[in-house]
Amino acid sequence: MTIWPILALSLLGSPHCAAMCGLIAGAAAATPKAGMWYHGSRLLGYLIVGAIAGSIGRGADQIGSALGWQALATRGAGIALMAVGVVGALRALGLARIAPIDGHRWVAGLAGRTRSLSPSTRAGALGALTALLPCGWLLAFVIAAAGTGGPVDGAIAMAIFWLGTVPALIAAGLVVQRAAGPLQRRLPLIAALLLIAFGAFTTLHRSAVPLAATANHVSHAR
């Protein structure tokens, strides 16, 4: 797995993140300080989820090695990503009535229960719990994190996902949705096709480079 496909997918799907979490992000980040707490704790939550997913992937790789199946986590994640992409494409084309995972009610209930907290505490709590949202797009990146086959790489994968969502959430989706223009309606299909392509690449690419090594190469290149 490499950094750039994950970052590109995250940026492309950021309008979805803005639609799902834009209101809660706006409420939590009412001040610059609260915004730092919200996005910082959201990053922490993603790092923890990514590390857990990567650890599960490592366990799958160890089991696969014992059975003579190499890179089980990576290839399994690739197949799962393709499946998510196919479902998304069918839904975007109107060929399947598969209801998307709806976390809006959960988000609204979560926001309501934190009203009594101080602004910074509330922002931090909402940010951390965002990592637990029942969101299909988020799930796709958790699968990708599991496919890295390690807790460090899994955490890096989710950090990259977080980085791609920050601009849209800071703007609460307004700037992103306007900039998308005519492509707005096509974004679900485009994102689904990219998930399929990324899943196929992940499944077939036998010499995947660990994300930690890729990130270190990028930092030295600068």
pLDDT single digits (tens) 130-168: 888 777 778 888 988 998 889 999 999 999 999 988 877
| Its pTM surpasses 0.75 | no
Q: What token pair was written down for 66?
A: 């014992």
Distances (CA, A) of 4 to 32, 64, 129, 142: 29, 27, 26, 16
Q: Between residues 102 and 122, which one has the greater pLDDT?
A: 122
Contact 57, 147 (CB under 8 A): yes
Domain assignment present for 139: yes
* Per-residue confidence (pLDDT) for residue 33, from 0 to 100: 87
Domain count, the chain: 1
Whether 194 maps to a domain, the answer reads: yes
204 pLDDT exceeds 90? no
Tell me which of 60 and 185 has the higher pLDDT: 60
Mean pLDDT of all residues belonging to the chain? 75
Q: Within a domain: residue 129? A: no
Residue 28 counted as domain residue? no
Q: What is the dihedral of CA 139, 143, 148, 154, to 10 degrees?
A: 30
Q: Find the domain containing 181 and state its range.
A: 3-21+42-101+135-221
Residue 80 counted as domain residue: yes
The answer to whether residue 120 sits within a structural domain is no
Query: Distance between CA 199 and CA 205 in Å, rounded?
Result: 10
Terminal CA-CA length for the chain: 21
200 part of a folded domain: yes
- Tell me, yes or no, whether 119 lies in a domain: no
Q: Mean per-residue pLDDT for 86-101?
A: 74
Mean of pLDDT values over 210-222: 49
Across the range 112-137, mean pLDDT stands at: 80
Give the closest residue to 202 by CA, choosing from 139, 143, 137. 143
Q: Minimal CA–CA distance to 188: which of 9, 21, 46?
A: 9
- The CA distance from 102 to 120, in Å, is 27
Whole-number pLDDT of residue 78: 80
pLDDT at position 59: 92
- Residue 189: pLDDT band (50, 70, 90) is confident
Q: Token pair of 194, please? A: 């990219």
* CB atoms closer than 10 angstroms to residue 102: 12
